């Protein structure tokens, strides 16, 4: 995949915001996010028809701004909506099962050690997510943060595999994370909770540009 798509990767579910979620997403798109992942998980997450309808609305907004639309975890929904990609964790449907049924689409996996990364590469994923870099309150079952250690090890061992960093990231972490070997930052709260998601996104976009 084109690694630059990972540079400012916004992730959001309807429960990550205290304003209308589509308003926040549109602000982030205007600000210049390069990829969007719908992650509808946890307390008060939408289900059933409301979930599918919300996903469709997010997808059409992304299409309007020509930003690829990725679905977290739910491969069936990704296929149903003809999404641009799917992102799975270690306890979700395995990438080796998804890959042959999802050719030409973006497939990302969260990894936490080099063995998981090796397996993801063998499965033919397009990128890996590594985190949490810093403490996060957006994922209840996140493992303890490990700074940029794993990103450094992973990028040295597997230099060709695109890496996106995740977990507690603010715009001021951009240089540190990219210099460690990541190709981009994925962000929930620093954009989703911002009063002005366009300005928050621009601070990430500008930080990446200035490296």
Q: Interface with ligand 3NM by CB under 6 A: which residues?
A: 11, 110, 129, 131-132, 136, 138-139, 142, 166-169, 187-190
- Residue 31 or 168: the one with the smaller Cβ distance to ligand 3NM is 168
- Residue 62 or 185: the one with the smaller Cβ distance to ligand 3NM is 185
Residue 39 among the catalytic residues: yes
CA distance 92 to 109: 9
Catalytic residue among 7, 14, 105, 110: 110
Residue 66 among the catalytic residues: no
- Residue 49 or 195: the one with the smaller Cβ distance to ligand 3NM is 195
Residue 155 among the catalytic residues: no
Query: Residue 56, annotated ligand binder?
Result: no
Query: Residue 39, annotated ligand binder?
Result: yes
Residue 85 Cβ, how far from ligand 3NM at the closest point, in Å? 15
The residues annotated as belonging to the active site are 39, 110, 139
């Amino acid at each position: 995949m084109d690694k630059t798509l990972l540079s400012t990767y916004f992730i959001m579910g309807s429960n990550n915001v205290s304003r209308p979620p589509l308003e926040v997403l549109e602000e982030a798109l205007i600000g210049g996010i390069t990829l969007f992942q719908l992650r509808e998980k946890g307390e008060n997450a939408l289900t059933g028809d409301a979930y599918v309808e919300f996903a469709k609305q997010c997808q059409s907004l992304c299409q309007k701004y020509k930003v690829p639309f990725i679905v977290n975890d739910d491969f069936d929904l990704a296929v149903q909506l003809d999404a641009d990609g799917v992102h799975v964790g270690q306890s979700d449907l395995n990438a080796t099962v998804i890959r042959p049924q999802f050719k030409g689409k973006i497939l990302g996996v969260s990894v936490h050690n080099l063995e998981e990364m090796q397996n993801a590469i063998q499965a033919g994923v397009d990128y890996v997510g590594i985190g949490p870099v810093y403490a996060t309150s957006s994922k209840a079952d996140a493992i303890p943060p490990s700074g940029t250690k794993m990103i450094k090890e992973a990028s040295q061992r597997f230099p060709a595999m695109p890496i996106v960093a995740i977990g507690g990231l603010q715009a001021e972490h951009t240089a540190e994370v990219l210099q460690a070997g990541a190709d981009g930052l994925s962000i929930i709260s620093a954009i989703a909770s911002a009063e002005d998601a366009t300005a928050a996104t621009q601070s990430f976009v500008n930080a990446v540009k200035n490296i």
